[in-house]
Homo-oligomer: A and B are copies of this chain.
Amino acid sequence: MTKETYVVDMSRGPNVKLRPVPVGAVRIRGGFWRERMTAGVAGVHTALGKLEKSGALDNFRIAAGRKKGTFRGPCFMDSDVYKWLDAASMTLMTERNPALEAQMNEAIEIIAEAQEKDGYLNTYCQLGAYGPRWRDIRSAHEFYCAGHLFQAAVAHCRATGSESLLNVACRFADYLCETFHEGGTACAPGHPEVEMALVELYRQTGRKRYLALARFLIDCRGTDRSQCKRDLYCQDHLPVREQTHAIGHAVRDMYLRCGMTDVYAEEKDENLMAALRTVWKDMVHRRTYIHGALGSRYAGEAFGDPYELPNLRAYAESCAQIGGTMWSWRMLAIEAEARYADLMETQLYNSILSGVSLDGERYFYQNPLESIRDRERQEWLGCACCPTNLMRTIASVPGYLASTSDEGVFVHLYADAQIDWHLASGKPLELDIATDYPWSGDVEIVLGEHTAGTFGLFLRIPGWCRSAAVTVNGKQIEEASRSGGYLRLVRDWRPGDRVGLSLKMPVEVVQANPRLREAFGCVALKRGPIVYCFEEPDNPGVELPDLRLPLRPEAPGEGFEPAFRADLLGGVTVLEGKGRVPERPDGDRPLYAAFRAEEEAWKPVRVCAIPYYAWANRGPAHMKVWLPWVAVT
């Protein structure tokens, strides 16, 4: 295995401040992410059977002439196979797995056979389920599937060194270059994805034509050359440099921003970057759920109006927050600002992880903030974009932990891990990171035996943290400087140097902007990066839809105590405290009535909150994140 198993290889982009540390250079030894990754690998293994059942692999077999039949599934069905290969490749970056590799090679063989002589590859079109190629660039997902092929091919090559899938990808990419940009045909794909994939294919192969095509497709967007009918849904309403809001279909929006950021990383274009900063701020300040989810509307799977963030009817598609993390990772590399890692952390620990069951085998498409016993994860989905996306995201977590820069090393996310890489100078970089994060805010970093010299160690102080202390070799550092949200420790480091970071992690009671209507008069509980929810199994006898949290306004968090429960949901820290419910259930009252002051007859109840990501692992149940509060003295 090549060690340069980048998730996104921004290591040479001229406009990039932070260079990635590859997945293969990071060993997550234990703790939180080790368990999630193990479950993820289990999911990758069983997914192949699900792809067979859905017909996704058969579509390729039929196109390859190995089998008779007709196309099955939605128009983007090919991408399920590509994304599975992508996810499987990512898991190989951490650990080789000959059985899995054999399965992958067989799939790649079928895919290669299905490819047309001129490089075109899309079984939906090839099997006649659609019409001529490129008949409907807005809806038919040919570019989208191509993008996922390219990403899978790059990941497969990086993980295994094999070019079997990369050759398929390049043949198709060459065909695309010749047909569109170089061939004089303009368009903007209805579902962005190919743009970032083309840039990555350029990074892997060095072929500039792929980067040029990516830029061309981005430049066509929102112009008369796009064929997307100036449609908001596809972010085609305006040229990309004039766009100011996260808008339309949320996954499309996020994938488009990834492609734009990737193009910027490789070719300076300040108007592009200015638009990206504006959209990112709009998204985070007005259209992001507390658990990091994006895209609140069922209609059009879309970003809503500002502050339109319903709880029960949250769409909050797993793929949207995955797209958000992919985009923020790119922004982080360019700007070295911790706010991007803050969003990634919120998404990874909460609304991404909630997309998959604790055993790694069942998936959520939507990730609402409330349930009325109406939700269960599914083994697979008719529109199966999320499962494989979740798999590849969880497998890529090691690649998100750290970066290097000209000044030293940045640690973004804290996990129990060993990093064995090098600084930009080429000098060895070995970090041993020990932590029980996210259940504890204490992190110890020990420098390896070959790690020495003057460089900066940049430790992210998470946005949620209001008090952090740092020691070097046991000595408190009083005046460590900060840079873009990172604590900056520059010194002449010696092997065995120990850095202790202590992030104070009290229970936080959070309130939303009053304009966020469904959280008005409510609070949510957080501790560290973890967003909590109240779920029925932990609160027997409590009518959750009616639950209020009594708070002392001067000390709102004091009523809740964290407790680690090794036996619960794979081991989680719960929050235990007091609640109250009305003597007369809300459901027995009229829908509308003359105003009167607050209900006075309350029943006190004991309540217990669990991490949001772990909900819905015990059957359908009531669940709530935001709860009304009542003042007590």
Give residues in A with beta carbon < 8 Å to B: 284-286, 288, 290, 297-299, 304-308, 310-313, 372, 374, 508-518, 520-523, 545-546, 551, 553-554, 556-557, 586-587, 589-597, 628-629, 631
Contact = CB atoms under 8 A, between A and B. Distances in A.
Contact of A515 (B286, B523, B586, B597): B586
B517 A587 contact: no
B553 A597 contact: yes
Given A510-B594, A513-B589, 20 more contacts: A284-B591, A285-B591, A286-B591, A298-B298, A304-B313, A305-B312, A307-B591, A308-B312, A308-B313, A310-B313, A312-B517, A511-B593, A511-B596, A513-B593, A514-B546, A514-B589, A515-B587, A518-B518, A520-B522, A551-B595
A514 B592 contact: no
A404 to B, nearest CB: 32
8 contacts: A305-B312, A306-B587, A307-B591, A308-B313, A511-B592, A523-B595, A553-B597, A595-B629
Contacts of A515: 545-546, 586-587
Contact of A592 (B313, B512, B556, B557): B512
Contacts of A308: 312-313
Nearest to A531: B592
A409 B553 CA distance: 59
Contacts of A521: 520-521
A522 B514 CA distance: 11
A628 B522 CA distance: 13
A290 B592 contact: yes
A610 to B, nearest CB: 20
Contact of A595 (B299, B509, B628): B509
A593 B554 CA distance: 15
B520 A628 contact: yes
The 6 closest A-B pairs by CB, nearest first: A521-B521, A553-B597, A298-B299, A509-B595, A556-B595, A517-B518
A597 to B, nearest CB: 4
Contacts of A554: 597
